[in-house]
Chains A and B, each alone.
Chain A
Amino acid sequence: GQQVMQIPQYQHVQEGEDFTTYCNSSTTLSNIQWYKQRPGGHPVFLIQLVKSGEVKKQKRLTFQFGEAKKNSSLHITATQTTDVGTYFCAGGNDYKLSFGAGTTVTVRA
């Protein structure tokens, strides 16, 4: 079945630095979604990418969907303490999303 792999599992970042988390699928995806889960909270939708090579930005967050629609990335610039949490990618071909294991981000002030 479809598998979505996400790396790194943990990301320790100095406040103000940039980092990227990557998501790879074993199969071509029709869309990819990103969610953020704060410690003790539930996943909250960030964005959806649908088109090959699509790039979307939300303030300091940049999301990209690969040309082959099998990979995606999330790049955060100038990390802040509010960025703490686990970021999940979720790839789908219809209604069913396969979630990656997530990248847990901690920030050093």
Chain B
Amino acid sequence: GAGVSQSPSNKVTEKGKDVELRCDPISGHTALYWYRQRLGQGLEFLIYFQGNSAPDKSGLPSDRFSAERTGESVSTLTIQRTQQEDSAVYLCASSEGLAGVEQFFGPGTRLTVL
């Protein structure tokens, strides 16, 4: 595809519900990242996938957060039992996988937990 795509663009959910966010990286990009951006703040690293290596989950804020990636394609970020503090924009980025290479960001999913 032309760029990184994410769906849905907006998600409103009730506290306690589970949500699943999807990311389609640029074809051929082996590295995929998830970030969280709270209103007016910087990007908070969540998780990193590189090829078939074990993902770096060190940024996941709690065990309610999990992510999967099928090979070098689609990734899903799942948040279980959502809380109001989970409200944020969730950004996905992909890169060619070499350390320090430019990351291409998707448009993000705006999650609102009521």
Contact = CB atoms under 8 A, between A and B. Distances in A.
A11 to B, nearest CB: 14
B38 to A, nearest CB: 10
A43 B100 contact: no
Contacts of B45: 96-99
A3 to B, nearest CB: 11
B42 A100 contact: yes
Contacts of B56: 95-96
A54 to B, nearest CB: 13
Given A48-B100, A48-B102, A96 B42 contact: no
Chain B interface residue bracket vs A: 20 to 34
A31 B106 contact: no
Contact of A43 (B41, B48, B91, B97): B91
A90 B107 CA distance: 19
B76 to A, nearest CB: 19
Contacts of B105: 42-44
Interface centre among A6, A42, A43 (most CB of B within 10 A): A42
12 contacts: A6-B42, A30-B100, A33-B102, A45-B102, A45-B103, A45-B104, A48-B102, A94-B99, A94-B100, A95-B99, A96-B45, A102-B42
Interface of B: 31, 35, 40-45, 48, 50, 56, 91, 93, 97, 99-100, 102-108
